[in-house]
Amino acid sequence: MTPDDSAPEGEASLADEPEVRQALAEADRASVASVVSGHPSSPLAWAELADLADSEGHSIEAFAYAAVAVDLAREQLAASGWQQGQPVPWRDEPNRAYLRALDAQRRAALALGLDDRAARLADELASADAEAPGRIASEFTPTQLMPIVASAAVITPATEFEARTGEPLAEPIAAVDAAGED
């Protein structure tokens, strides 16, 4: 983050991680863990791994990865003077790692039946930035985060259905105008 890009006074911000963003942009689903290994103190890398685990239905792993991302982000924010409960604005892109991790941990907590914890995480997310839950839901669903790369060995043809081909669909018939024939 440059001085010109800094958050307004009183608002906390995580450090920008361009090398992590680049590594994640170049990674496929199978190599996200190696990005985390290469950048173990990165909240962004851990948040990405949490979202990936969530998208694959691995709630326990998603919860654990998100908890690491949240803890790392809180440590970095606290080092810059932030205290829990203070704003962490979504508009500052590096902060999205923390906000996404809170939401990933909340989703995993719900899936695991940890309703009280999920509610506390939802409250923390809303107090950090009231717009973040909606932004995450619309802009950062887990399937949007990583390109889906499947090998031919993973894709198996359906056995219960038979593929059928037939005549192409006929052109739609134009509607008769209001004064037209019955």
The pLDDT of residue 58 is 97
The pLDDT of residue 35 is 96
The pLDDT of residue 144 is 45
pLDDT digits (tens, 9 = 90+) for 37-68: 999 999 999 999 999 999 999 999 999 999 99
pLDDT digits (tens, 9 = 90+) for 67-85: 999 999 999 999 989 998 8
Q: State the sign of the Cα–Cα–Cα–Cα dihedral 19, 21, 25, 30.
A: positive
SS3 70: helix
pLDDT < 70: residue spans in the chain: 1-10, 140-182
The pLDDT of residue 18 is 96
As given in the structure block, the two tokens for residue 164 are 């059928």
DSSP 38-66: HSTT-HHHHHHHHHHHHHTT-HHHHHHHH
The pLDDT of residue 115 is 97
Residue 66 in contact with residue 36, Cβ under 8 Å? Answer: no
The pLDDT of residue 12 is 80
DSSP 99-163: HHHHHHHHHHHHHTT-HHHHHHHHHHHHHH-TTHHHHHHHH--HHHHS-----TTT----SSS--
Q: Nearest to residue 47, comparing CAs of 64, 29, 26?
A: 64
R_g (Cα) of the chain, nearest Å: 22
With respect to CATH, is domain 3-145 assigned 1.10.260?
no
Angle at 104 between CA 101 and CA 107, to 5 degrees: 150
